Chain A
Amino acid sequence: MQVEKNFEPTVVAFCCNWCSYAGADLSGNNRIQYPANVKIIRIPCSCRLNPMFILRAFQRGADGVILCGCHPGDCHYTSGNYFARRRMTLLFSMLSFLGIEKERCRVEWVSAAEGAKFAATMNDFVATITRLGENKKLEDLRCKK
């Protein structure tokens, strides 16, 4: 795919309040850089992420969506991320089945102590999305300005 030179992807990161949002804060505290393309939305738990939100993001022009939550077994609510894991696995599989680039969505477990991992994950994810280029398959054209 031809990558535009100055393509700046829009990446939405859903972070659970207890681990990953804190992990993102920690990467800030430690001044570890990651691209400004990433915009974080705080949710109480990874299990709060409705697949609808991911589709909505793509519809409105996001190029990549990533969900970060507590590591399996460490969920603040004991089992939320286990449910999220099943839901996301099935959703991603379906998107891939429909021919959507499967790298556009990702789930990563980031603990409150893993500031460096958060930044590394975001660097890698943004690089992947930049390589994939603009999300055309899932975009609602009406929303394009």
Chain B
Amino acid sequence: MPEPILQIRNLKTYFYTYAGVVRALEGIDLDIYQGETLGLVGETGCGKSVTSLSIMRLVADPPGRIVDGQIIYKGEDLLKKSEAQMQQIRGNKITMVFQDPMTFLNPVITIGDQVSEVIAIHENLARDVVRSKIDECEETIKQLDSNSPDRERLMNRVKELEALKDNPPKYSRREMKKATLRRTIEVLKLVQMPSPEKVVKQYPHELSGGMRQRAIIAMALSCSPDLLIADEPTTSLDVTIQAQILALLSELKKKIGSSILIITHDMGIVAEICDRVSVMYAGNIIETAETKALFKNPLHPYTQGLLKAIPKLHRDVEELEIIPGSVPNLIYPPSGCRFHPRCPFRMDICDKENPPFIERERGHSVACYLYQEKK
């Protein structure tokens, strides 16, 4: 196994509301490895999205605050970085695709501008400018016949430009804009946006849901990030589009070679594209395993419940109906194992203390006393 590009250790994120302290993340551990797709599943409100926001350091403060833990990215703890440094990382090294393309695009700014601003701040476009200039020259050179005086001159020009490549000079705003636009359109093409030249001038409300989601993905990928966090990227899209988007994601992953953390409550999606899965319940990670392993042999009672909930033929259904009870309120969480009030195999110990998260089989960890005893 390659070493993880992102390690989350004992991450605690609390929300300090008037009503009380919401313990949204109660010390979760998570590893994401180079080039893998990790699925993070769980019911709505179990803290999946908070996890992703915590990684981005975008938890609204107040009321939210990351009270403890580490998020180690390339050996550095993101929680210790300054806001300015974080701004360098966000949208560049670590990017996000959000759940609802309807609300996550700014209604009064054209798609073009929304995509290009990412490029403008993170990419060194001066290089592009140089690049394009070189191309122009070479174009003209091709047209010229072998022994015209210009040819010589142009050759030299190309050489100069080649020299400039590494530390390019400042170019006029106009040239930069041109370069940005070019890149924007490239990116939109990359996410298979139909007729990108037209789209750049359009406003979000003029686009279909699928196109918007593509636009968002374009933003996320425009700087070829190391890690892409996709927070329920398909829930608000209809099934056909879902398939396309998922296909797109995995394809792009191969292209760019970045890791993906995909957050969902849909086991189907997990089965389809995830290498590994982590199951969350009420602010804890309760089970992590390779996708196959998990489906074959789920350990945690909750996970078992989840899997039972999937009808074999049809997949797009509210899956939690058959687990009795409901998600506990996180202000006054149940003592001990947070699942015990709903757990069919409840034991005395369960409401006393929280079960430790231990690796039971290779790459298959679970937090439940059922397996403690077996040991």
The yes or no verdict on A and B being binding partners is no
